[in-house]
């Protein structure tokens, strides 16, 4: 019995290694550089081993996305719980969101940009993704304002943040005024 357990442990450990290595490689050189061959070489196994853990490259991206979403949710909660009033919380939320996207661009892409084969806004949406949205909802429902559904408000605010994050990183927006754009967004959208 304990032999089987050991093997399972080793297998789980290797799976973590795959995900961590994929993430590392993606952050270092972009997702284009994350090929099954390079990934296999880095974990010091042959290519087919990857396919005994994941159905394909998509699923590996999906695994990185889930891990990242959990981290993001934690970061958002940590930032908002340190603030006293709703207004400060929203600002902290927005800043933390954009900072996460900037510091973990590959992970952010895995979550929101790439196809990781994950379901969104459905019943079978994985827990970490639902939880990340919940973290946004918790703070934003305080400043939704009258006559607006908090979920709808959260979606809209989130979309604005997502737009800022992606356009900035893609070089579509001048990076200097990021902070002032956040202030504008919070000033106008949040009803405090």
State yes or no: residue 155 binds its own copies (CB under 8 A). yes
Residues 63, 64, 66: CA angle, nearest 5 degrees: 65
Give least dist CB 21 to its own copies, A: 25
Give least dist CB 87 to its own copies, A: 15
Q: Applying CB under 8 A, which of residues 48, 123, 146, 180 lies at the interface with its own copies? A: 180
State yes or no: residue 153 binds its own copies (CB under 8 A). yes
Q: Applying CB under 8 A, which of residues 36, 70, 158, 169 lies at the interface with its own copies? A: 158
Give me the phi and psi of 65, to 5 degrees please.
-60, -45
Q: Which of 152, 158, 166 is nearest to 185 (CA)?
A: 158
Q: Per-residue x/- mask for its own copies, residues 92 to 131, rule CB under 8 A?
A: --------------------xx-----xxx----------
Give least dist CB 91 to its own copies, A: 15
DSSP letter string, 104-165: -HHHHHHHHTS--S---SSTT--HHHHHHHHHHHHHHGGG--TTS-HHHHHHHHHHHHHHHH
Distance CA 156, CA 122 (A): 18
Distance CA 57, CA 29 (A): 16
Residue ranges binding its own copies (CB under 8 A) = 112-113, 119-121, 148, 152-153, 155-156, 158-164, 166-167, 170-174, 177, 180-181, 184-185, 188-189
């Amino acid at each position: 019995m304990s032999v089987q357990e050991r093997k399972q442990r080793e297998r789980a450990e290797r799976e973590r290694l795959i995900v961590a290595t994929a993430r590392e490689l993606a952050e270092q050189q972009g997702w284009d550089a994350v090929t099954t061959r390079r990934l296999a070489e880095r974990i010091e196994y042959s290519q087919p081993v990857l396919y005994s853990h994941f159905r394909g490259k998509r699923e590996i991206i999906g695994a990185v996305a889930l891990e990242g979403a959990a981290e993001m949710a934690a970061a958002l909660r940590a930032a908002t719980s340190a603030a006293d009033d709703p207004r400060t919380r929203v600002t902290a939320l927005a800043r933390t969101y954009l900072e996460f996207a900037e510091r973990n661009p590959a992970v952010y892409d895995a979550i929101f940009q790439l196809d990781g084969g994950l379901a969104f806004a459905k019943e079978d949406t994985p827990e970490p993704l639902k939880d990340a949205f919940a973290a946004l909802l918790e703070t934003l429902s305080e400043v939704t304002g009258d006559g607006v559904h908090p979920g709808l408000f959260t979606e809209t605010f989130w979309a604005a943040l997502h737009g800022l994050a992606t356009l900035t990183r893609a070089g579509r927006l001048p990076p200097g005024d990021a902070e002032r754009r956040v202030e504008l967004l919070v000033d106008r959208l949040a009803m405090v």
